[in-house]
Amino acid sequence: MEGKRESSHASFTSAMNLTKSGAPNVPSRYILPRSVRPNDGLTPSTTLPVVDLSILYHPSLRSRVINEIRSACKEIGFFQVVNHGIPLHVMKDALEAIVGFFDLPLEGKMLLMSDNVHAPVRYGTSLNHATDKVHFWRDFIKHYSHPISEWIHLWPANPPSYREKMGKYATAVQNLQKQLMGVVLESLGMNPNYLKDEIEEGSQVMTMNCYPACPEPQLTLGMPPHSDYGSLTILLQSCTGLQIMDQNKNWVSVPLTEGALLVQLGDQIEVMSNGQYKSVVHRATVSPGKKRFSIASLHSLALNKKMGPALELVDEQHPASYKEFSFRDFLYNISNNAILGFFLPNQYITG
Ligand SMILES: O=C(O)CCC(=O)C(=O)O
Ligand SMILES: [Fe+2]
């Protein structure tokens, strides 16, 4: 049985190409230890919060939205947003662009391949030497932004509409993120302009994930459990597959809601809020029938900004419980081969 499995560890083979070979088994490098495999039977059907952002502009209803966001951030570090102002066609076009990109022959994609996490654009797969025990299916490219017009020429030239479609989505999601940061700060009782400059000068990394259909989805994950390192992540998924960990440590599948975007709190918000808000631990499962795509737009504060608990949120009853860190510290602490984000938030807890 084992002998039939694909065994090349040294050379690059994208997860997509492994799937194309039509193998009946998942390659052995993706097989997880039993204790960390997904177990659908254990996933409860918890209802996840959905926030209607259009209500923010009704003066009498605004406080209701702020309260909903506060509860979601405290309890789970996650919410979905609808009526967020990004047109459905812009979201669909962005997904279409990455479907087209990942469908290109491997040789074309390899031109963008790099194992340098500081490279502005990089294509790679789940072979991760720094976290050898983490096995998952993932192809990705990363875009460092700011401003978008300065880096769009680095993006894939194929498919030909890629830059235009992704540029529109990246710009729209960047603006949405700024609005959401203001609302999240307001929900903490802070001035929404707190950190305005750091947010303006912040970074945006867009990770495009492609999870090929997997013949044995129960043995593996598309992405292992992790929290995102930044402030907010805005995620668009083509079909279900994202699971988040709720406050009882149960995995909850995030449903697909047309037009909705998923908002995940990252470690910077957990640290800044001195633990009042939690970054959400999440993972991606794979499915036997369908390739899945997601676009994660990971936002963080200015590279050099040391982020510690906000002074307003620290007092005798609530002493600072996190160390200061900057996105730069994070980037330079990880090995070049590490994939961003695969750390759990307790790395920043003091003591
Ligand atoms: O594909 C997903 O749903 C999750 C992606 C993700 O967590 C990430 O890119 O950090
Ligand atoms: Fe993530």
d(CA 93, CA 159): 12
d(CA 278, CA 61): 25
The number of beta carbons lying within 10 Å of the beta carbon of residue 326 is: 19
**Residue 268 Cβ contacting ligand 1 at under 6 Å:** no
- ipTM value, please give it: 0.99
User: Strands 251-253 and 242-245: what pairing?
Assistant: antiparallel
d(CA 205, CA 339): 12
| pLDDT, tens digit (0-9, with 9 covering 90-100), for 32-56 | 888 888 876 555 667 899 999 999 9
- Residue owning the nearest CA to atom 3 of ligand 1: 242
Q: Can you read off the two tokens belonging to residue 68? A: 């909903």
Across 101-105, 202-206, 223-227, 316-320, which has the greatest mean pLDDT?
316-320
Q: What predicted TM-score, i.e. pTM, was given to this entire model?
A: 0.88
pLDDT at 336 over 80: no
DSSP 246-291: -TTS-EEEPPP-TT-EEEEE-HHHHHHTTTSS-PPPEEE---SS--
What is the whole-number distance in angstroms between the Cα of residue 284 and the centre of ligand 1?
A: 6
What is the whole-number distance in angstroms between the Cα of residue 79 and the centre of ligand 1?
A: 15
User: Computed over its alpha carbons, how large is the radius of gyration of the chain?
Assistant: 20
d(CA 204, CA 303): 11
**242 CA closest ligand 1 atom index:** 3
| pLDDT, tens digit (0-9, with 9 covering 90-100), for 17-32 | 666 656 777 777 778 8
Q: Please give the pLDDT value at position 60.
A: 93
d(CA 240, CA 187): 29
pLDDT at 350 over 60: no
- Ligand nearest to the backbone CA of 240: 1
pLDDT at 341 over 50: no
Helices 88-102/162-187 angle, 10° precision: 130
- What distance lies between CA 334 and its chain's CA centroid? 18
Least reliable range by pLDDT among 30-34, 87-91, 128-132, 286-290: 128-132
**Residue 282 Cβ contacting ligand 1 at under 6 Å:** yes
**Residue 294 Cβ contacting ligand 1 at under 6 Å:** yes
**222 CA closest ligand 1 atom index:** 1
Cite the DSSP H helix spans in the chain.
15-20, 62-75, 88-102, 106-110, 148-151, 162-187, 196-200, 267-272, 327-333
Ion ligand 2: residues, CB < 5 A = 228
| pLDDT, tens digit (0-9, with 9 covering 90-100), for 295-327 | 999 888 877 778 889 999 999 999 998 888 777
pLDDT at 338 over 50: no
- % of the chain exceeding 70 in pLDDT: 77
Of residues 327 and 220, more confidently modeled:
220
Q: Please give the pLDDT value at position 77.
A: 97
Return the domain boundaries, the chain.
32-348
**Residue 203 Cβ contacting ligand 1 at under 6 Å:** no
**Residue 176 Cβ contacting ligand 1 at under 6 Å:** no
* CATH assignment of 32-348, among 2.60.120.330, 2.30.250.10, 1.10.10.10, 2.30.30.100: 2.60.120.330
**Residue 228 Cβ contacting ligand 1 at under 6 Å:** yes
Answer yes or no: are the C-beta atoms of 68 and 176 closer than 8 Å: no
**Residue 334 Cβ contacting ligand 1 at under 6 Å:** no
Q: Please give the pLDDT value at position 6.
A: 39
d(CA 44, CA 23): 32
User: Strands 282-284 and 223-226: what pairing?
Assistant: antiparallel
Across 110-119, 240-249, 319-328, which has the greatest mean pLDDT?
240-249
